[in-house]
Amino acid sequence: MKFDTPAGTNPIDQLKVVGKPTDRIDGPRKTTGTAPYAYERHDVVANQAYGYVVGAGIAKGRIASIDLSDAKAAPGVIAIVTADNAGPLAKGKMNTAKLLGGPQIDHYHQAIAVVVAETFEQARAAAALVRVDYARGKGRFDLDAALTAAPLKGDSSGEGSSAPPIERVGDFDKAFAAAPVTLDARYTTPDQTHAMMEPHASIAAWEGDKLTLWTSNQMIAWGKGDVALTLGIPKENVRLISPYIGGGFGGKLFVRADAIMAALGAKAAGRPVKVALTRPMMANNTTHRPATVQRIRIGCTKDGTITAIGHESGSGDLPGGGPETAVSQTKLLYAGANRMTAMRLAVLDLPEGNAMRAPGEAPGLMALEIAMDEMAEKLGMDPVEFRIRNDTQVDPAKPERKFSQRNLIACLRQGADRFGWDKRNPKPAQVRDGRWLVGMGVAAGFRNNMNMKSAARVGIDRKGIVTVATDMTDIGTGTYTIVAQTAAEVMGVPIDKVVVLLGDSSFPVSAGSGGQWGGNSSTAGVYAACMKLRETVAQRLGFNSTDVEFADGKVRAGNRSVSLAEAAGDAGLSAEDGIEFGDLAKKMQQSTFAGHFVEVGVDAWTGTVRIRRMLAVCAAGRILNPKAARSQVIGAMTMGVGAALMEELAVDKRFGFFVNHDLAGYEVPVHADIPHQEVIFLDEVDPTTSPMKAKGVGELGLCGVGGAIANAIYNATGVRVRDYPITLEKHLAKLPQIA
């Protein structure tokens, strides 16, 4: 199905099933422990052995020698694979560094061997006996130092956030110099890790020259292609199966060492092998969100109109990597005739930087939304009104290109009213609740919408059961449910008459889970397949497909009514189709918006910050399942609390690794950190995005949260912190005197 004109009225608009707050159909399996995750697939293949990955003990250099004799002699050891005996391996298109290192080492904890044994404990013990001598090289591990000579670099996050090396509109330098009120400030965000609950894990089994991987991967088609490329085998000889994923946040968009080392170990052992990366290897071996150093300059007239806005960001990555596109939202979020965005990319020898939930906008808005508050204070304006004053309904760089829909003002107005913003004291450090300094903060949320080609196969059996099969994944986002809702709506059956099969590369290729494109795109693909199946049913029954009605498990046309079960017959019926998007997103800017409001308390004695309440008002097209969408947004808000207050990978700048590489040292929010959260979705549809008229929301819920928290802390204390995370030592000495 081609989608190149805005959607008109269609079966989704019935909203009998779609748009309802529906319980997760996979919930019972999740809560009873029967959902099959990758490492636990004891049922799929017999005689599984265990692999344990050995990571490089240096960040840069080469392996001088490797002694496997003690490890090979250890109890239970079946095989050991290193670069010496793995055979030729390529680097996947989605990988910056090789997944199996040696003799050259690209980063700390790069996989250099996998030890396969009868039990996990035996594999781990033997791996500790692998003796490696290194020739350590000189590495680059200090972002600030590396940025002094870093070149300008443009790139895309691959998730809708992109920017050229430098982009100018008007004359920024002249306008900024002439502006009556100006701000010029530096902000930093640290390296962060995904810290998902389920580790990267895979079981590999060979049958002749064909490989099956039960793995934890967000993008099945991407993964299949890169596994084949890395191992040098035809794509048709690779099958990936990933029906349940225990969190990804972008860290499982790409094939990682667990999959390749399991495949190599299984080939060497002559039997299936399972591999899970340890928590330290998840931090240092897989991808992370890169740190940024950002400079923001804003020039305004005295009435608060932005005349000049400039945003520069620097980040680092391994050779061949790309920048964190932290300036992307600044191109579109606020008006201003004179604009400049620029990015610099430093070469670092730290582990690979790549996509993490809302790459680009998440760290970019952590800086931009503090800058907007600082500018509002200079102007003596309310921060909400300052943002509204500088709203734009067109792309500032291309005024002829309008937003398909933009309700940022409604998000801010409704949020301010609901949150009680009028009770905020604009003068910092004035409100106390016992020993707590109390403050409110606001930030705008912004995330681009992306559409991805997506397909599905839909069938009806002789019992009237509708089955949907697509390689789409569920990373805890509720994909099973919204796919079932879509099929139920279009085929006119109750949701309990729909079976959903996901995460298998033998199924039609979907959008996959990433960039908040998955929900809208994958359901649009299911819609396309269902509409084709409706035509097939109508043709079999001799009905006019334009007049046919699918409802209550029946097909009706005129005075005739036939059950779906009868229409399918003993052989059943099926159809396969997908959604292919035209250029509507080029003609109009498709984006999502939010207003984030936060109240914090800061202990006047210790400087400890506590979140008191949070509100997100989101404008993201049609909400397919408000219950699941709310869960996504409150999860994103929680992640924003972590980014603002505690999450930071500490870099050892001597040896080039992340020191706090486990959940004991890398702090993330827990239930006790998160009080009342409220989410409001604006009632809107966007017919330019797909037949579903929806957009993504899972990353929008994160974008802006950090800035809102930082602004609330300033309102509470009068101390402005521009370097995340905002830990107590950064403002403790400057807190107001205690009476």
Give me the active site residues, please.
699
Compute the distance between CA of residue 393 and CA of residue 403 in angstroms, rounded to an integer.
6
Of 411, 616, 623, 638, give the one whose Cα is nearest residue 516.
Answer: 623
Q: In the sheet where 436-448 sits, what is the strand order?
A: 432-433, 436-448, 591-603, 609-619, 676-681
Q: Which residues of 288-317 are buried (b: 16+ CB within 10 A; e: fewer)?
A: bbbbbbbbbbbbbeeebbbbbbbbbbbbbb
Backbone angles phi, psi at 185, to 5 degrees: -140, 155
Compute the distance between CA of residue 576 and CA of residue 509 in angstroms, rounded to an integer.
11
Q: What are the residues facing 188 on neighbouring strands?
A: 293, 723
- CB 537, CB 573: distance < 8 Å: yes
The alpha-carbon radius of gyration of the chain (Å, integer) is: 27
State how beta strands 657-658 and 651-652 pair: antiparallel
Tokens 């279009």, residue? 490
- CB 313, CB 285: distance < 8 Å: no
Residues 6+ positions from 395 with CB-CB distance below 8 Å: 331, 332, 401, 402, 403, 589
Residue 25 region by backbone torsions, left for phi larger than 0, else alpha for psi between -120 and 50, else beta = alpha
Would you tell me how many other CB atoms lie within 10 Å of the CB of residue 539? 11
Compute the distance between CA of residue 451 and CA of residue 574 in angstroms, rounded to an integer.
25
Compute the distance between CA of residue 656 and CA of residue 55 in angstroms, rounded to an integer.
14
Cα distances (angstroms) measured from residue 702 to each of 610, 638, 680? 18, 8, 14
